[in-house]
Amino acid sequence: MSLPRSRERADANEAAEIFSKLEGEIRNVVSRGDTASQAPRGNDNELAASDIGSILQRVSGTSAQEIEKLIGELQILRDMLQREAARVEREVVGYAALLQNARGSITAISESLSVWQTERGDRSRISA
């Protein structure tokens, strides 16, 4: 159980780093806009929009890749759980059959002992 938790922590740390980088890049874009001259120029706005767009594409691309990776891992786990469920079901059926055979054997032994005990009781009465 420690391996998945450490992996979750690593994934969370990686996501935090990505969002931290995104935040830093957005701040850089915004600060460039603040330090520009007071008269807004069309090129600067387009450049800032393009920068933000490319940043968001990188982040969303990374997020989409992470989601696809997690979906793949969940599918692998689902398949493993289905195989384990089938194995456990086979084991339970095997134990049920074994239990039924044991009950049959106990019944047969019990009947044999009762017949033997009855015969032994009849012999003790005859000799007395």
- Per-residue pLDDT tens for 94-115? 999 999 999 999 999 998 888 8
Q: Which residues does 62 contact at the CB level (< 8 Å), separation at least 6?
A: 18
Q: How many residues does the chain have?
A: 128
Ranges of the chain whose pLDDT falls below 50: 1, 37-40, 128
Domain ranges of the chain: 2-127
CB atoms within 10 A of CB 96: 10
